[in-house]
Structure 1
Amino acid sequence: MDIQRKDVHNSDLPVLCQACESRHRGVCGALTPDQLLQLSKHSTRRTLEPGAELAGESIQTKTYSNIISGVVKLSKMMADGRQQIVGLQFAPDFLGRPFRKENGVSAEAATGVKVCSFPKQVIERMIGEMPELEHKLLEQTLDELDEARNWMLTLGRKTAGEKVASFLLLIATHAFPDNESDSVEFELPMSRMDIADFLGLTMETVSRQLTKLRADGVIRIINNRHVEVPDIARLSDRAGM
């Protein structure tokens, strides 16, 4: 595919960028059509299966990526092999840590994931040349910092029921940011064991709390992983928001 070919209905943008669901909300939204064309010359679109590794914690960084769809799980490993899930990323998040030789976390596809990847040196050069791109990356970094602080509150102060509701609310709002409906449905992006790890709970506690939310009509669970939230505001109340 010639990624520099222009669409007759929108001749300013590369075809690859026109088809990108995350361009307007992601870091590429800061770029002009000419800058997008320059970046598209180096970009690679990839589709990954659940469980595929996108980045290793101590592996030298060679590429950065925009998440186009799906959920990415971020983890850190202790010296004795214990692992902790420390965050989730969604479209249109930027995956990678610019100006650092190695990744600070491991990144794994929690669901099927589509990413658009770029060589490290290309992105870092463009950051230096384009203040708009640097600003957009800083803005996303600060948003992630705010979310990390909110998640510290969830882990440190909320009850088990509020933690599980907060996790479901995180998926409902971040995986579907353009949803304007009062309801949403989705596939759980992680196993109950991984959810328990992420929330600092046991798997049995997670299962009990999901059962309670279902019994109270806050959620519906179909085929174990498919969740329906008929009223997001009610789920938010149960999350202590």
Structure 2
Amino acid sequence: MRHTMNQDILGKIQNFFEGETKILTKGDMLMLPGQQPPGVSFLIEGVVEQYDITPEGNKIIVNIFRPPAFFPMSWAINDTPNDYFFAALSEVKLKRASAEAAVAFLQQNPDVAFDLLSRVYRGTDALLKRLLLAARGVASTRLTFELLIEAYRFGENFEDNKKLIRVKHGHLAERTGLARETVSRELHKLASDGFVTLTKKGIVVDLDRLQQRLDLTV
């Protein structure tokens, strides 16, 4: 389910990132593969995508960051080289701190570190599930899983345990590794079977029915 950060923890993070607010426009690059990150970024407003480009030229989205995320923590904690593109999907406002300062902040604030660890484990569970579905190669289950992840993380409350998600077909294609045409076809199948409703505002996801469908097919 969607994780809401404790306000005390959020306050500590906001107080720590006190530097200058940087503003980026849609499409601006925050980091490139092989590039040393300019610091740990704390996202105040907007959406940032982390992705890779396959040798065939296909874009594969690895993660989506929304406030109040801060990243890349693997680099900050483990000095892991950055192998991904980070780009603004909308206008973005963020603040930055050095890796050393961010790590010291986590060491001095175990509640913040535990919250980060909890979010990392949720992300790891989702990644393992995604790998399993990709290995099975069934387009409908891969798309179903991504719809559920999007709904639980970023969905807007709708009626009768439903969520409205505002995501483009192209972004779903990049995250599932499917062709855009395949995503559109599978979405219309899900809609005709009553699992989702396609509207001008976005996709209305029936959480209960879609979860049952995934449990039955995985």
TM-score by length of 2: 0.75
Q: Which residue of 2 aligns with 1:166?
A: 145
Q: Is it true that 1:196 corresponds to 2:170 in the alignment?
A: no
Q: Is it true that 1:65 corresponds to 2:44 in the alignment?
A: no
Q: 2:104 aligns with which of 102, 111, 125?
A: 125
- Residue 190 of structure 2 aligns to which amino acid in structure 1? L
Q: State the Cα RMSD in Å.
A: 3.4
Q: Is it true that 1:233 corresponds to 2:212 in the alignment?
A: no
Aligned residues: percent identity? 23
User: What is the correspondence of 1:85-100 to structure 2 with a 5 Å cutoff?
Assistant: 85-97=61-73, 98-99=76-77, 100=79
Q: What is the deviation of 1:66?
A: 3.2
**Kept after mapping to 2: 8 A contact 1:162/1:240:** no
Q: Which residue of 1 aligns with 2:115?
A: 136
- CA gap of 1:83–1:200, structure 2 versus 1, over 3 A, is closer
Cα deviations by residue, 1:71-108 (Å, 9 ceiling, x for unpaired): 43221245776543223334443321313274232222
**Kept after mapping to 2: 8 A contact 1:71/1:175:** no
SS of the residue corresponding to residue 239 of structure 1 reads helix
Q: Which has the higher helix share?
A: 2
Q: 2:51 aligns with which of 71, 75, 84?
A: 75
Cα deviations by residue, 1:18-52 (Å, 9 ceiling, x for unpaired): xxxxxx617x854776x854x1433x445544433
Which range moved further: 124-133 or 212-221?
124-133
- Residue 168 of structure 1 aligns to which amino acid in structure 2? L
SS of the residue corresponding to residue 60 of structure 1 reads coil
Q: Which residue of 1 aligns with 2:28?
A: 52
**Kept after mapping to 2: 8 A contact 1:60/1:102:** yes
Q: 1:205 aligns with which of 177, 182, 194?
A: 182
CA distance in 2, matches of 1:180, 1:48: 35
SS of the residue corresponding to residue 194 of structure 2 reads coil
TM-score by length of 1: 0.69
Contiguous gaps of at least 5 residues in structure 2: none
- Residue 239 of structure 1 aligns to which amino acid in structure 2? L
**Kept after mapping to 2: 8 A contact 1:60/1:101:** no
